[in-house]
Structure 1
Amino acid sequence: MTPASDPPAPGQVWAHVGQPFTPPAARPDGTHYDFIVIGAGRMGSLLTLALTRAAPQTRLLLIEQGGLPNEEGHTILAPGLWTTAHLTHDQHAAAHASRALIEELGQPTPRPHITLHTHPAPGSVPTADALEGHPDSLALIDPGVLTHATTDPHALAYRPGTLALNATQTAIRAGAHLMLNTRAAPHPAGVVTAERLTVTNTHQIITHETHTLRARHVILATGADAPTQAEHHLGIHTRHARAYQQTPHLNAPSTPTSPTLHAAGLTLNPQHGAYTLHPAIHHRDPHGYAPTGGHLTGVPTGLRRETLEDLVALMDALPTLATPALHLGRSLSDIPGSWVALPHGNPHAPPTHEPLDPHTTLLLGGPHADTLGPHTAQELAQQLAGT
C-alpha cells in the first residue's frame, strides 16, 4: 500500500469516447468513488481542487458535459471581478480567503473598482476627483448626474475560465480524475448515470455509452441547471432559481489601467480595449421562460427587453449608451448570454451549498461567485472531508 505521506499519482483524463473508460473496482460497500463532482465550471473545479487538498488519497471524479472550462455556462461570461465594494462587513473574511485562491490560480490583474452615485455616500468623493487620471472613463459618464463615487483600489480583474482551468489541472496533478463530454445525472443513494457523448457525421450529439457509477457523496455543481436536475432526478424541490443574463459590448476605448465602473447596477468592465457591460439581475426568470430580444425605435435588437429598458434608463447618466458605441446586435445570437444560478432565488444572495439527501450536496455560485465562490467551495470541501 502507498504510504499516506507519498504524493498521489496524477489522475486520468477522458476527453472523448476514443479513450476507453472502465469504472474502478467497486468497494465492499458498492461505491466506485468517494466523491463525484458534476459540473466543471468555476465552483465545481474549485471544489474538486479543495477536495484533493482536504481529503487526499480519496477516489475523486469530476464530470463535465462539454469541454474545459465549461463552454455553455456562466463561467465564460462572468465579470471576473473581485471587490469588497458591495459586500457586508461580515463577508469580508470570506472574500479575502477567496482572493488568496484567485491570486494562486486566476492570474488576476489589479484594476480599481469605482462605484458611481447620484448623492453623497459614506466614503464618497466627487466623481471628477475619483476619475482623475482616467479621462477615458470620465468621458463615459455625466458627472453632473453621477456626482459622487466610492473607490476600491484593491480590486482585481480575472477570467473565471482561467481559474477553472488551472484549478482542474492542479486537481488532476493531485490525483483527481476528469471525464469530459459526458452528461451526468444524480440519483438517490449516490448513484450517477454518466452518458459519454459523441458527434455523428451529421453533427448530431448522441450517447455512445452509458455507465452507472456510485459514490459515497455526489456534489451537484451544474450552475443554473442544478435546481432543475435536483427536482427531475432526485425528486427534491429547492428554493433556488435562475435568470438569463446578457453581456452587451460597448465600443468605447479602454486601457489596461482603466477602472471598472459600477452605476445603478450596471458594471462596465474594461476588456480588449473596449468594455463589456454586465447588467443588473432584478429577479428570477419564471419557469419555462425563453429569453427574447427587444425593440429600440422599432428596430429589433439582440438584447432581452428588460436589459434594453435598463440601458435606456441609464442613458442620461451614461451618455455613451446613447451612441453607436453600444452594440445591441440584430439577432439573439449577436449578444452573448447565459443562465446564472440565483441562490435562494435572490440575485443578492451569496454562494451557497446545502445537502439534498444523505449522499448528495448542491453547490451554487450565483452573481457573487467572483468574490465569494472560492471560499464557499473550500468550506464545503472541509465539511465533506470531515464526514
Structure 2
Amino acid sequence: MTPAAPSTAPDPPSGQVWAHVGQSFKPRDYDVVVLGAGRMGSAFAFYLRHLAPHLSLLLLEEGGLPNEDGATLLAPGLWTARDVPPARLDEARWTRQQLATAFGDISFQPRPLIELFAEEGTDRINAAEALAPFPDALAMVDVSALPFAQVDTQAATYRPGAVALAAAQSAVRLGADLMLNARAHAVLAPDGTGGTVVTQRLSVTNTHQIIVHETHRLRAGVIVLALGADGPHAAEHELGIHTTHARAYRQTPRLDVPSSDGTPTLRAAGLTLRPQNGGFTLIPAIHHRDPHGYTPTGGHLTGVPTGLRRETLEDLVALMDALPPLGTEALGLGRSLSDIPGAWLALPRGRADGGAGGLPLHQQLTGGVHLLLGGPHADTLGLAVAHDLAAAVAGITGRPWENEGAGT
C-alpha cells in the first residue's frame, strides 16, 4: 500500500478548557456536544477530532476531571478475546492495538488470563500445568477443585481511567473544547435534528454543598449521550425515548495476596482476580440487571455486617474452597457499603453476557441524538464502538479493522 502524502495543513489550535466557574464562558453553537467524559465519551471525542477536525466539538463532564470517578475508574482494565463473539474479533484486536500504541502510558501490559474449571471441556488443559510457570498464582488455587484451565496468552491489562484522561487531553489538543464541573441534559429540537444542551456549571460552597452557579443553553447539531449507566435513564426521562438497556451495581473488593508484574489474571465461575497494586482486585460476575429503584446495601457473613452486597458475598463464599485466600482475612469485606469501591454499570440491551447481546454499542435515538454505551465488555470492544460512532458522525464508511495495517 502506498503511504499517504504528509498533510500540509497546519495543526488545529487547541481547544478551550473550563475547569471551574471562575473562568468566563460565552455560549455558542457546536456541531457536536458529548455528555460525559468517561472512557467512551472521551474516546469518541478523540476519534472524531482525528476523523472530522472541521466539526466543532464540546465535551462536558460533571466531575472535576475526565473520569474522576464512576464505572470507568473501577473497570477491570482487562483485554481478552475469550469474551468476544467471532464476528467481533477484528474489532477487539484493533482495540488491543490502540490500547498498546495510541494513548501513551496507560500501564498496558501483556498478561495471560487463566480461566479455571471444575470439569473438562473443549481446549481445556491441566490447571496445574497451566499455573506451574506462576508459583504465586498456583498457591492461590486448589487444583483438585478446579483441575482444568483455558489460557488466553494474548490477554493484557491496562488502566481505563488513564485511557479516558489521555483521550480527553488529546481531543483538546486537537481542538475540542472541554467543560468540567458541568451537569447537562439534552432537549430535542422540534424538527428532530440535534437539539439543545442545557448546561449547569457547578460550584462548591464553604460547607461543601454543590450548587448551580450558572446555566447556559447550547445548540448542537449532534448530541452524544455517553453517561454510562445514566445514559438510558437520560434517554427516557429527559428525551421521552424508551430503551431496552439496564444497569447493575458492581463492587470491586480487594484481596491482599501478593501479586507482581508477572502474575497472570485468574478467572473462576465468572469471578476475575486482576493483579493490581501488589495485590488483586476482584471483579465479580454480574448475574442480572438491578431493578428500578434498587439501592445497594451490604450483606452479612455469619451474622456480621459487611460492605459487600449479598449476591457478591454468596459468589465469594461458594468459591472459598477452590480459592482458599477468599476465606482468609486477605479479603476486604468492609463493614458498610462505603468501604468497598463500587459503581453503577450500564448493561447494553439489559444483558451482561457478550454472546447474548450485552456488548458495547451506540444507538441513534433521534435524527441527531446518539446513545453510547460501554458496559461489562468495554475493556475489549469499547474503543472500536466509540470509533464506529465517530466515523458515522463524520460520514466515513470504512473502518480501520476492516483493512489490515490501517491506523486511526
* Fold shared by both chains (TM-score > 0.5): yes
**Larger deviation, residues 327-336 vs 98-107:** 98-107
Match of 2:230, SS state, is helix
Counterparts of 1:91-170 in structure 2, within 5 Å, are 91-103=88-100, 104-105=102-103, 106-170=106-170
Match of 2:275, SS state, is strand
Counterpart of 2:53? 56
Letter in 1 for 2:236: E
Structure 2: give runs of 5+ residues left out of the alignment. Answer: 1-6, 190-194, 397-408
C-alpha distance in 2, partners of 1:69/1:6?
Answer: 27
Aligned-pair distance for 1:4?
A: 9.2
C-alpha distance in 1, partners of 2:276/2:314?
Answer: 24
Q: Is 1:8–1:57's contact at 8 Å kept on the other side of the alignment? A: no
Match of 1:76, SS state, is helix
1:213-259 residue CA offsets vs partner (Å, 9 max, x unmatched): 01100000000001111111101111000000001111111111100
Is 1:324 the counterpart of 2:329 in the alignment?
yes
RMSD value, Cα: 1.2
Between the two proteins, the alignment pairs up a number of residues equal to 378
Is 1:7 the counterpart of 2:16 in the alignment?
no
- Which segments of structure 1 move beyond 6 Å, counting only runs of 4 or more? none
Counterpart of 1:216? 221
Match of 1:235, SS state, is coil
Aligned-pair distance for 1:272?
A: 1.0
Letter in 1 for 2:363: E
Is 1:372 the counterpart of 2:372 in the alignment?
no
Q: Is 2:67–2:165's contact at 8 Å kept on the other side of the alignment? A: no
Match of 1:75, SS state, is helix
**Larger deviation, residues 96-105 vs 142-151:** 96-105
Counterpart of 1:266? 271
Counterpart of 1:198? 203
Is 1:239 the counterpart of 2:278 in the alignment?
no
Match of 2:375, SS state, is coil
Counterpart of 2:403? none
**Larger deviation, residues 118-127 vs 162-171:** 118-127
Counterpart of 1:36? 33
C-alpha distance in 2, partners of 1:229/1:77?
Answer: 22
Letter in 2 for 1:64: E
1:326-355 residue CA offsets vs partner (Å, 9 max, x unmatched): 110011111000000000000111101111
Q: Percent identity?
A: 58
TM-score, length of structure 1 as denominator length: 0.96
C-alpha distance in 2, partners of 1:191/1:101?
Answer: 33
Letter in 1 for 2:386: A
Aligned-pair distance for 1:101?
A: 1.7
1:70-125 residue CA offsets vs partner (Å, 9 max, x unmatched): 22320010000111022222121010111122112134011111111112222221
Counterpart of 1:352? 361
